Amino acid sequence: MSRVPAAVGVIGGGRMGAGIAQVFLAAGARVAVVEAGGDAAQAAHNRIADGLEEAARRGKLDGDVATALGRLTLLDSPTELDPATGLVVEAVPERADLKAEVLRAAEAAVGPEAVLATNTSSLSVTELAAALERPARFLGLHFFNPVPASKLVEVVVAPETAPELVGTAGGWVRALGKTDVVVNDSPGFASSRLGVLLGLEAIRMLEEGVADAEAIDTAMELGYRHPMGPLRSTDLVGLDVRLAIAEYLHRTLGERFAPPQLLRDKVAAGELGRKTGRGFHTYD
């Protein structure tokens, strides 16, 4: 049975970073979270503490919250990471320049055997690798939101990733109680590429009047056992987020990802899904 590394660094303690820190703490690692300092560090600490409390309430935490939190430290910069850190996952905002900068700083702080990973949902792992001194020690670990409850992690392999890293990273994912799927670096990886395509086709069906939103979602939920239909899923992710991903996949993979006009219209009208109370469905 694989174990997670004894010391893990997480850069960015936002929605994803806090979840990633939480699951590694729960698996017994010492975790250093790098945040922009001041209020951001306190907010990250609170998110992680709240997440651990929630896990404990649901009976999903081995040990107690205080012990897990005792293994957490917050740092102001990746240059302060412990040289003995075995894995660093970056989860800063989706900007290639920012990600390259924090990954380079982390690489200079940790030992040559450490593994560096990006949690990017859409950027090229291959291009990020080009910013590093040791691209062989780098790969994508694409966690899903919310991290503690999601079972899947995509292990994204760039051409220069050392082959043995794939097995090592997969072992860590399984030690977190999650399932790894290995994907070669390409736009949208496996999950977004298929998920977004299904969502776009559902929107086109709505545009063409094939069926209403409820019928389209129910067809996939009951007919194909999807836990959530493609339009409900688009509402959950956010129509603006889906549109941005579709535009990127349209540019990189071609016409089949062209965003439907209805999606553009809804985003322009501020109907962004659950977060605004209205998307393809309405929410209280």
Ligand X SMILES: NC(=O)c1ccc[n+]([C@@H]2O[C@H](COP(=O)([O-])OP(=O)(O)OC[C@H]3O[C@@H](n4cnc5c(N)ncnc54)[C@H](O)[C@@H]3O)[C@@H](O)[C@H]2O)c1
Which residues are at the interface with ligand X (CB under 6 A)? 11-17, 34-36, 40, 44, 91-94, 98, 102, 119-121, 145
To ligand X, the closest distance from the beta carbon of 244 in angstroms equals: 10
To ligand X, the closest distance from the beta carbon of 132 in angstroms equals: 17
Taking CB atoms, the residue at the shortest distance from ligand X is: 14
To ligand X, the closest distance from the beta carbon of 260 in angstroms equals: 22
Nearer to ligand X, 152 or 219 (CB): 152
Identity of the residue numbered 141: L
Nearer to ligand X, 93 or 227 (CB): 93
The three-class DSSP label of residue 89 is strand
Question: Which DSSP string corresponds to 28-84?
Answer: T-EEEEE-SSTHHHHHHHHHHHHHHHHHHHTT--SS-HHHHHHTEEEES-GGGS-TT
Bond before 93 cis per omega within 30 degrees:
no
CA distance 159 to 167: 15
To ligand X, the closest distance from the beta carbon of 209 in angstroms equals: 31
Nearer to ligand X, 100 or 203 (CB): 100
Among 94, 187, 191, residue whose Cα is nearest residue 143:
191
Nearer to ligand X, 139 or 205 (CB): 139
What the block records as the tokens of 41 is 């560090």
